[in-house]
Structure 1
């Protein structure tokens, strides 16, 4: 498919444990916190950025694992700034996992509600290996000491140029993932882990989204009052927006002139907005 503008702009999570959650995002990570309403706070990377995350503190802990967001991934513009935050987390003894995925170096952690977060930087695209439309993505340990040596300053907050790099979901059937991301959202399949996880992207990125079945085939959807993903918003250019409008209308989905609203395979809402600020 032709190149498009595709940006994951925002996610909304239902949450509880307000004190520890706010402390984690505001004080541990250093995000800019703004109160939106009673029991609701938003978080931006810098004072100049629009919020990318909203927490609504009216949720409750689920009794079992649920379908929905597996993790959201924050993409750093450079290795050095990622190293600064990782050093801070290590010195704070915050539990971390790692994954060198060939195309990127990633660190994994959970917030106090158990939401998965990936912190990563991409290696230069010329180093990515493609074969018949699939990108090589392995998993091995990150050389943490080597990464930390790239640090240029102590952590003082997120740098300019941060984005949500991708959203990784968990469900009960990769076929549902293919139907949603490939058929409905017009994305390409870029990688597989056997038949348990599929990865999808526009513009030959390694993945904007992933769908796995690692909680088993009987995992249920999140209940509306349980913690987890409520909605997510993407921005696309006019050309892709028009294509999606026509395609989804033909599939009997309701579309509007300024926004497309869908229910994703996990029961949360996807809002698709045309991004007038960044036309191709």
Structure 2
């Protein structure tokens, strides 16, 4: 099942992500994670599949098809990010993790504030609050650093002050569902070649933001102020294959273009695609399965 994310009224992005599909080992454990820990609604179950999201939108679909947990060292998904629409919702996400005593890592990327955690299979999930106005530029001399809007040079992975985040908490209700405006805001992928993957995503319309071959890393935007929509790295090693199908990880993801014209432009620049009733299926250079659609 495909569910296209709505565009925020103030967003100038030309594309968004639909639901991400994950292979997992145990649907009961995954259901507990996505509902209690993440705060999503269980929207539908059917056999070995379950859908989670807000009241009206599916954001994550899990398939109980894996036999082994997520294993590092392969190409594919690095993490998927659930973006909060505002400070209040981000504080609520953090508070839910803290009260449930669920392990997470808080990181300040300047352009965003992030909380990293693993699902029961070891698939990395990020909760994100976009803060592009705090960001000025990247510095790559002598290590990867970020300059903020006030001219301060910081680590690209600075510590996030969770006490400061929790000042925006409105209530302590950890049983309420995530905001309707929460969305899959970005994907970070392990690429077997950052160069080839960057070129592929450029061809289907994404706009280069940082291309740092010395750090085997790049990221691209979709036209809005927050330019970290697709990130690519080869920190796991060059030319690594996708994980075997029996391993937990990403099954496929959806890119939903805002207009039919943008989708047409993307399809004109891919070497091969397969059309069905849901949309147009393509493979990126790493082998990740993507379905391209339009609103």
Fold shared, TM-score > 0.5 on shorter chain: yes
Aligned residue for 1:174? 194
1:204-262 superposed Cα distances (whole Å, 9 cap, x missing partner): 432111011111125321222322111111110122112112222xx354557972210
Shift of 1:4: 5.2
> Aligned in 2, Cα 1:127/1:85: closer, same or farther, shift over 3 Å?
closer
TM-score, scaled to structure 2: 0.82
CA distance in 1, matches of 2:237, 2:162: 32
5 Å matches for 1:81-160? 81-123=89-131, 125-130=132-137, 138-154=156-172, 155=174, 156-160=176-180
8 Å CA contact 1:31, 1:157 repeated in 2: yes
Residues 1:245 and 2:276 are matched in the alignment:
no
The answer to whether residue 204 in structure 2 is matched with residue 188 in structure 1 is no
1: distance between equivalents of 2:14 and 2:124? Answer: 26
Q: C-alpha distance in 1, partners of 2:95/2:283?
A: 39
SS at 2:287 equivalent: coil
Size of the aligned set, in residue pairs, is 265
Task: Determine the C-alpha separation between the residues in 2 that align with 1:160 and 1:258.
Answer: 24
Query: Is 1:59 aligned to residue 79 of structure 2?
Result: no
- The 8 Å contact of residues 43 and 51 in structure 1, kept in 2 or not, is answered as yes
1:179 and 1:36 map into 2 onto residues whose CA distance is 38
- Which residue is equivalent to 1:278? none
Q: 2:220 is matched with which residue?
A: 200
Deviations 1:259-279 (A, max 9, x none): 22101233331001111xxxx
Instruction: Give the aligned partner of residue 19 of structure 2.
Output: 10
Classify the secondary structure of the residue corresponding to 2:158.
Answer: coil
Q: Normalising by the residue count of structure 1, what TM-score does the alignment of the two structures yield?
A: 0.86
Report if aligned partners of 1:59, 1:226 keep a CA contact under 8 Å in 2.
yes
